[in-house]
Structure 1
Amino acid sequence: MTDLRDRLGRAVFRRVAGPDGPAKRARIHDTPGPRWFGPERPIRTVHGDASMFIGGLSALLLQSLHPLAMAAVSAHSGFRGDPWGRLQRTSTFLAVTTYGTASDAEDAVARVRSIHERVRGRTAEGLAYHASDPHLLAWVHASETDSFLRAHERYGARPLDAAGYDAYVADTARVAEALGVVDPPRDRQALARCLDSYRPELRATPAAWAAARFLLLHPPVPIAVRPFYGVLAANAVALLPSWARSVLRLPRIPVVEGLAVQPSGLLLTHTIRWAMTSGARSRTAE
């Protein structure tokens, strides 16, 4: 069992962090210097939990509902051609800004802002988009923060209290401001208001439906892993706000979700947490 646990932990870590994951992890956690967030901050608790796997997939589905944001992702991110590379870059950015030195966090933000500055174009309807637009950045930030928070609240090993989740939103606001978001929400109530303010702009475009089909029905994972990914996907869908599911035409069956989907999600995150804890100890010993 110990060998199985270690191999599973290494495999998951390699998928999420990439082949140079151990080196990146060592730099992020072991480099001395001041950090944006201390060990006691809620952002470390949330971003270090296995619930992020479900929250991350749910965030992608939610973010796809903004036509301009989805157009930018579809045209420039290459998520279909290199989905694992995109995941690894995103996870590295989250790890650096959450756990890394302030200097490394600032460098990571500067790289992302440079990329955003170059991402611009027009939708099929002729609407202009620019990834550095503070309004679009605020949508991506709010939908991501809400998804991570709700996933941790439902699947986290140690859910926070109301004050803890307000503090988590405040922590994420620091990163959002560095990326160019103007006056990001700093508590859960403000986060809910922010998301609601975008509702008139949201709709399921053909690009959003294509992204949902790719993420939910044709994931880039081996056949042997499909059942586990299916559990992940079902829980990511169940985590979405009811209005978002309606826009994406994703069905809701409360009895099935209560009796099967959420328990399977809890088991999956527990298994990932179990494996990754072993993998972290093993990597530390190397």
Structure 2
Amino acid sequence: MGDLGLFGPGSVTWRVHGEPILIVAGLRALLLQSLHPRALAGVVQNSDFRTRPWHRLETTATYVVTVNYGTTADAEKAGRNVRYIHSKLHATDPRTGERFRLDDPDLLRWVHVVEQESFLDVARRSGVKLTDDEADGYYREQLRAAELVGLDPATVPASQAEVAAYYEKMQPQLATTRDTVESMLFMAVPPMPFGLGWTPLRGVYTGVAALSLGLLPAWARQRYGLPGIAATDPAASLLIRLLRASLSTIPRRLIEGPIYKGAMARARAAGHPV
């Protein structure tokens, strides 16, 4: 009962991931990850995301919450499951025809870095106050999450400067393929769950998807054929702040899941203010 997991109270991870606004960061990460042809091919060729997009989203979100707020045993079990699944899967490079494994460290590193950079970027731009030292601390903490999926922490960028250099290095490997465009359009207008279809929820989701695109780095927006002008960044930052303010009016008990609530209960039992 006293296990506070991989991070715990006082960690930058708990400060960042306690924000409901990070749902936007998840979509931003998917859009950015899709610019890597091999990473996208691994998903397209091995996933049922087109027929069950909300199930995939729920599964991914549950994994992230388990790693960040679950017990150490739960986080390690989730990591073992991911490593086992990846070890069994292969895909074909759409450009070269080469077969590759989904547990290729280069692919795992791309997915990890994009996720963590997206979480941190959206949190800070929405108004979560973090110093540069704290932002670097977040990347260092998340090396534990990288290790869970099978990465050597020594090979993973662990600061803002290292992430920026990594993105610069990776850009020649990125491309806007037909799969990239189709995936972007699917993520922008997916089938809505529970038969909601063309209801106001559709409009809300479309707005969030558009905001996620606007929050991408300028070089990524340009690859999607969108404006890469500097004016896009402050506009997106203003909108994400307004959305975070709107979400803050919703009672937290309505949006806190059982894994998060369990972590808070264990922290309080251990005498930590949360």
TM band (smaller chain): 0.7 to 0.9
The amino acid across from 1:226 in the alignment is R
Q: Contact 2:175–2:223 at 8 Å: present in 1 too?
A: yes
Calculate the TM-score normalised by the size of structure 2.
0.84
Counterparts of 1:130-279 in structure 2, within 5 Å, are 130-156=101-127, 158-182=128-152, 183-218=155-190, 220=192, 222=196, 223=198, 224-252=200-228, 258=234, 261-275=236-250, 277-279=252-254
Corresponding residue number in structure 1 for 2:61? 91
Aligned to 1:48: 18
Is the CA contact 1:185–1:191 (under 8 Å) kept in the aligned structure 2? yes
2:91 touches 2:102 (CA, 8 Å); kept in 1? no
- Partners of 1:258 and 1:135 in 2: CA distance: 32
The unaligned stretches of length 5 or more in structure 1 are: 1-30
Residues 113 and 132 in structure 1, CA contact (< 8 A), matched pair in contact too: yes
Instruction: Tell me which amino acid in the other structure corresponds to 1:245.
Output: R
1:26-45 pair list within 5 angstroms: 31-45=1-15
2:37 alignment counterpart? 67
Matched residue of 2:121: which SS? helix
The within-5 A match list for 1:101-120 is 101-120=71-90
Q: Identical aligned pairs, as a percentage? A: 33
Contact 1:177-1:184 within 8 A present in 2 as well: no
Which deviations, in whole Å up to 9, do the C-alpha atoms of 1:54-100 show, x marking residues without a partner?
A: 11111001000111100011111211111111111111111111111
Distance 1:49 1:219 in 2: 26
Quote how far apart the aligned CAs of 1:247 are: 1.1
Indicate how the Cα distance of structure 1 residues 73 and 51 shifts in structure 2: closer, same or farther if over 3 A, else same: same
State the SS of the aligned residue for 1:76: coil
C-alpha RMSD of the superposition? 2.2
1:230 match: secondary structure: helix
Residue identity opposite 1:181 in structure 2: L
- Code of the residue aligned with 1:143 in structure 2: it is V
Give me the whole-angstrom Cα distance separating, in 2, the residues matched to 1:53 and 1:251.
Answer: 23
SS at match of 1:121: strand
Alpha-carbon offset, residue 101 of structure 1: 0.8
What is the total number of aligned residue pairs between the two structures?
Answer: 252
- Give the distance between the partners of 2:257 and 2:137, measured in 1 at CA: 32
1:232/1:277 Cα in 2 relative to 1: closer, same or farther (>3 Å)? same
Give the structure with the higher percent helix: 1
The amino acid across from 1:244 in the alignment is: A
Q: Aligned equivalents of 1:88 and 1:123: distance in 2?
A: 27
Corresponding residue of 2:269: none
Q: Quick one: distance in 1 between partners of 2:256 and 2:42?
A: 39
TM-score norm. by structure 1 comes to: 0.81
- In the alignment, residue 114 of structure 2 is paired with which amino acid? S
2:94 to 105, 124, 134: 124
CA distance in 2, matches of 1:247, 1:121: 23
Counterpart contact for 1:231–1:268, Cα < 8 Å = no
Letter in 2 for 1:55: A
Structure 1 stretches of 4+ with a deviation exceeding 4 A read 252-259, 280-284
Q: 1:147 corresponds to which letter in structure 2?
A: S
3-state SS of paired residue (1:129) = strand
Distance 1:154 1:44 in 2: 17
